[in-house]
Chains A and B, each alone.
Chain A
Amino acid sequence: MPPTPTHCPYCALQCGMFVDAEAMITPREDVPANAGGALCQKGWTAGELLSAPDRVTAPLMRAHRDAPFERVSWEAALDRITAEVGRVQDRHGRDAVAVFGGGGLTNEKAYQLGKFARVALRTANIDYNGRFCMSSAAAAQNRAFGLDRGLPVPVTDVPEAGAILLAGGNVAETMPPFVRHLAAQRERGGRLIVVDPRETPTARLADLHLQLTPGTDLALANGLLHLAMTEGLIDEAYLARRVSGLEAVRTVVNAYWPERVERITGVPVPRLREAVRLLGTAARALILTARGAEQHATGTDTVTAFVNLALGLGLPGRPGSGFGCLTGQGNGQGGREHGQKADQLPGYRRIDDPAARRHVARVWGVRPEDLPGPGLSAAELLGALGTEDGPRALLVFGSNPVVSAPDSARVEKRLDALEFLAVADFVPSETAMRADVVLPTAQWAEETGTVTNLEGRVLLRRAARPRPAGVRDDLEIIAALAERLKAPGRFSTEPSEVFEELRAASAGGIADYSGITYERIVAETGVFWPCPGEGHPGTPRVFLDRFATPDGRARMVPVEHRGPVERPCADYPLHLTTGRVLAHYQSGAQTRRVRALVDAVPEAFVELHPDLAGRLGVDDGATVRVTSRRGSAVAKVRVCATIRRDTVFMPFHWAGAARANLLTNPALDPISRMPEFKVCAVRVDAVDQDRGTGSRG
């Protein structure tokens, strides 16, 4: 059997790869994202996931949370879930059963999960971990452009940009093959500007690094727009023709003169000027944000400030130029388009829009009035679990919130307060281990389905290997539960059939997939949405003619810097920021099971500036306790001069005592409901009895 062409299970770049019968991986040459056959270590070793030693291969169940798990039949597990759902809904109402999905699920599964929640459970409460990823960028792009697609142009346009500003993204570690596009850009004389509190490997590639104070990205962006205005770099003709709202934004950014912005952000004025000059004089330029700028209680406004800058410079809607968000999870883009968000129906439709409800209800064969309304967003949903008015039972698919949600000790308490928890996963994740029932699921290379990568390009992942005996895929699980719950309509277990239904449900919506077929995806190496008909070529570059707003004009929205919710104080004098390392992914539930990746980075750590380490009297390798208002985490020190003196960094991939999310602030953005992962106030103390002596080497 020849190796199967498919895509990587990890990040939103969705590198093309072949998987053979032995799960050996080789890169594909034909996928633009990793053209030239690039893969990072996670991609190369992804095959090992398929045979993770502790893989779950039979349903696990227990009578109560203190009892040990027992292997049970699928019938027994599904019957138990059905019975618990019925009992909880009878007693507490339909919304008392909630669903929590994931940005790694294929479009088909995300769609089916949303339909299952609305049609089979008839609960309003479904949301997903993508709320923790791109929701701020999504809200800001919808507000400005009327449409939210990660990148406005294909990655093959990246090398054409004369200047790129990347705010809060560390692609050299989070999606290494993307760096090749940046390298090609720089070979052609293009310039790269990186905004990050840390001098990351990505920042080291940059021509200009703006090493700002955590939580001040919005002030920085407003300051850059101020400079663009006073230095005559604004595109007045473009603004007059294509944009509304300039005057209100001008009056707000007038208060962000360079010296004030320098005092807020710590970024020297000459660097601000240089950044604006590079962006404003390039023939083509891209402004990109990622989680560093987005994961704040002011995330939507922060992204809006960068969108305003892009609009002021006349970038969006021009070939090779624009504003974009580097999505994070494998299907971070598609996962938010087809109905697993609390406020949305397939096709990026609003669930409170009567026309959208009528359309989707018709496809689903139900009455519009039977569809529930908007439910709780992810962090609010997790926070309400087991409370008087909150959900009493939860079904989790493709997510590990015990590690990935903010203030995760509280999440554990909420999960434990549930009357019933079922988790579908392929490994015994930290969240699965708190469940009543664990359903073993298939993985990326064992099932077929589409994903939409950071470009908005819809790709086909294909089953390359049989799944282990005893394992079912999510579509089968959802169909079996829907049948037991006597749901109306059809719940196919065939991905291509589900995709056909998704096409119909998305038709006429913002994210219109109706012209996309599996055959076209294969023939065209992916199809860009929106694609409203089979004769439509897809949309590699958005907004060339008009923006997706009612009047076709982009909207500038004035936004003010408010700063982080927690500022350093006497008790918690430092900023904590969190992020990823190259060898690991998200909650680590996958990558912590791959030997080479564990060897590369075996455990969590805390980055400290040498001056701070000196003040604390700790050396490289010493153990420290990091404490915020929510709790403490313990990890080893890495001393490095690449971080600000007032900031410490922890990666968030580990469970247990080194869990960064024990510390993070669950304060939410008022629009996107994004938690403030990227900055909180902490103190760092040496842990005396366990001083590292370098013995680990």
Chain B
Amino acid sequence: MRTVIVGNGMAGSRLVGELRSRDRRMPITVFGAEKARPYNRVMLSNVLAGASAPGDIHLTDPGWYADNDVDARLGLPITRIDRRERTVTSADGDVTPYDALVLATGSTPVVPPLPGLDAEGVVVFRTLEDCRAIVRHAESARSAVVVGGGLLGLEAARGLAGRGVPVTVVHRAGHLMDRQLDPEAGGVLRRTLHDLGVRTLLNARLSAARAEVGRVSGVELDDGTVLAADLVVLACGVRPETGLATASGLTVDRGVLVDDRLRSVDDPGVHAIGECAQHQGTVYGLVAPAWEQARVVADVLTGRTARYRGSRLVTRLKATGIELAAMGETGLGDDEAEVVRFTDPTRGTYKKIVIRDGLLVGAILLGETGTAGLLTQLYDRAEPLPADRLHLLFDGLGTGTPVDTPVRIPDTATVCRCNNVTKGRIRASWEAGARDVPGVAAETRATTGCGGCRDTVVGILEWLDRQDPGPHHEPGAEVSRL
């Protein structure tokens, strides 16, 4: 089965790997609009922050396509799909036939139709090239504005602040990351950002960008405010890239409509995954769902039974100095669900757990994410929750053995695990005359294994001596116990 994949971003490149790991021989051709080998978009914030070099975030090495017999046409967009002939035409005019076609065309950043946004210094934050441009501008920028206080905008702003560029985030809604956070969390996040050097303006709408000799010099807001900026990053959301699909007659709403096998509802020979697909009314904008979809399509195309049932969304902010995890329905209040909260504004900590019918349906962890792993797994698997909700908020509570004193532990308690010696037997050996560790060891073998119980044995002996100094006791005996 000749498989053609249009798009080599996070979804398309993942699908190539998934297919190849299942079927060594299936002919695979992948077209990528970008010239670069596929790279991890999640790591763009690392590049912006300077933690990763732009050349170090690729998802395949140069030899991979040849080694794995994959026909990769990079930097070559597709211009036309002919569904009747089952072919695609690439920008160079080549016509490639397919038995199965997968659209993984992703999305393009929204650029608001406002004056001035074509000036030099106004950039979107989407591709590795965009990222390089932002870094280049940041080197000389005196101040920057980020338009959009969502996930991507805040990561960009944090990266710029980390590079020493004063940065202001202009956000339309009443609180930051309003799609993932409740207003209270948004407020705590705003303060944390402020402490990291990121200024935020809420309920603020851009009306234009100002330019001087073709180069951006600032932005205007619709309330008349003017912000100076020689770098403007647009993070106003994305729009699914569905032009090809529409032109070939596939049903498109916001994305290409697909069924549970990620097949177009019009044509079983065409699949769509990632940000260009719409499943059960949802277009997903995160990596995890795209990769789940890639797995399902790889199964379907290699003859396995697999169905996509939608994804659970977990959002993580990748920004140095800010720990944030949000999942599910975070906006529900006490009247709609069981809500457990912990707030410590001075430390920038906000935690909220939303429970319905005994299951975790939403959560926000901000400032301290020690239980994010636990919560994500409980949320992903819809598992029963711990009886004590504290475990959901705080890591490391409730496990571990309570520290006890030699006095309080019962006689039946095992002191030396390696040789299965109880406190009672140590007491008995003391009563039989063993007054130091070697004596107890000779009698019971306690302390002769890993040696970890030595302090406890010394403690028990000291306590027994205090209870009853006895005929063997000599002043200062404690110091010679070892």
> Could you list which residues of chain A lie within 8 angstroms of chain B, going by C-beta atoms?
27, 36-41, 44, 172-173, 176-180, 183, 199, 201, 204-205, 213, 229-232, 247-248, 250-251, 254-255, 257, 259-260, 262-263, 265-270, 560, 568, 582-583, 596, 599-600, 610-611, 614-615, 641-642, 645-646
Contacts and interface: CB of A to CB of B under 8 A. Distances in A.
Nearest to B315: A259
List the 3 shortest-distance A-B pairs measured between CB atoms, nearest first: A179-B450, A176-B449, A259-B316
B401 interface: yes
Contacts of A269: 323, 369, 372-373
A615 B445 CA distance: 41
Interface stretch (B39-47, B98-106, B129-137): B39-47
Contacts of B451: 36, 38, 179-180, 183
Interface in B41-59: 42-43, 46, 51-52, 56-59
Contacts of B450: 38, 40, 172, 176-180, 183
A183 B454 CA distance: 12
Contacts of A615: 384
B395 A263 contact: no
A39 B448 contact: yes
Q: Identify the interface centre among A40, A213, A268, A611: most chain B CB within 10 Å of its CB.
A: A268
Interface stretch (B175-183, B268-276, B414-422, B465-473): B414-422
Contacts of B445: 39, 41, 44
B61 interface: yes
9 contacts: A27-B448, A40-B418, A40-B450, A179-B451, A230-B51, A266-B373, A266-B376, A568-B381, A611-B384
Q: Identify the interface centre among B57, B373, B376, B384: most chain A CB within 10 Å of its CB.
A: B373
B462 to A, nearest CB: 21
Contacts of B387: 610-611, 614
A172 B40 CA distance: 41
A201 B417 contact: yes
A172 B448 CA distance: 13
B449 A268 contact: no
B418 A267 contact: no
Interface string B8-39: 00000000000001000000000000000001
A265 B43 contact: no
A40 B58 CA distance: 50
Nearest to A610: B387
B386 interface: yes
B400 interface: yes
Contacts of B39: 254
Contact of B376 (A178, A179, A254, A262): A262
B318 A259 contact: yes
A268 B365 CA distance: 12
A632 to B, nearest CB: 23
Contact of B40 (A27, A255, A582): A255
A646 B420 contact: no
Interface in B424-445: 445
A619 to B, nearest CB: 15
Interface string B367-406: 0011111101100110110110000000100111100000
Contacts of B374: 266
B96 interface: no
B288 interface: yes
Contacts of A36: 451
Given A257-B42, A268-B369, A270-B370, 11 more contacts: A180-B450, A230-B52, A248-B63, A255-B40, A262-B372, A262-B373, A267-B373, A268-B373, A611-B386, A641-B398, A645-B383
Nearest to A173: B417
B452 interface: yes
Nearest to A646: B383
A204 B400 contact: yes
A624 B307 CA distance: 35
A204 B449 contact: no
Contacts, number: 144
A248 B419 contact: no
A44 B419 CA distance: 8
Contacts of B448: 27, 37-39, 44
B463 interface: no
Contacts of A199: 399-400
Contacts of B398: 641
Given A204-B400, A230-B51, A268-B373, A251 B449 contact: no
Contacts of B60: 251
Contacts of B154: none
Nearest to A254: B40
Contacts of A229: 52, 56
B64 interface: yes
Nearest to A257: B42
B314 interface: yes
A437 to B, nearest CB: 37
Contact of A641 (B56, B383, B399, B419): B399
A41 B56 CA distance: 52
Contacts of A176: 417-418, 449-450
Contacts of A614: 387
Contacts of A583: 420
Nearest to B327: A263
A530 to B, nearest CB: 31
B400 A177 contact: no
A268 B371 contact: yes
Interface in B211-270: none
Contact of A646 (B43, B377, B452): B377
B318 A41 contact: no
B400 A560 contact: no
A41 B441 CA distance: 12
B57 A254 contact: yes
B419 A255 contact: no
B223 to A, nearest CB: 37
B373 A642 contact: no
Contacts of B372: 259, 262, 268-269
Contacts of B62: 247
Given A37-B448, A39-B448, A259-B316, A172 B376 contact: no
A263 B418 contact: no
A231 B43 CA distance: 13
B314 A263 contact: yes
B59 A268 contact: no
B364 to A, nearest CB: 15
Contacts of B384: 611, 615
Nearest to B325: A259
Contacts of A172: 417, 450, 452
Contact of B419 (A41, A180, A230): A41
Contacts of B316: 259
A40 B42 CA distance: 50
A39 B318 contact: no
Contact of B59 (A183, A254, A596): A254
B140 to A, nearest CB: 25
A263 B449 contact: no
Contacts of B61: 247-248, 250-251
Interface string B137-155: 0000000000000000000
A263 B56 CA distance: 23
Q: Identify the interface centre among B371, B387, B448: most chain A CB within 10 Å of its CB.
A: B448
Contacts of B40: 254-255, 257
Contacts of B419: 40-41, 44
Contacts of A265: 373
A613 B384 CA distance: 12
A260 B376 CA distance: 10
Q: Identify the interface centre among A254, A257, A266, A269: most chain B CB within 10 Å of its CB.
A: A254
B441 to A, nearest CB: 9
A232 B52 CA distance: 9
A27 B447 CA distance: 13
B323 to A, nearest CB: 7
A183 B61 CA distance: 43
Contacts of B386: 611, 645
Contacts of A646: 377, 381, 383
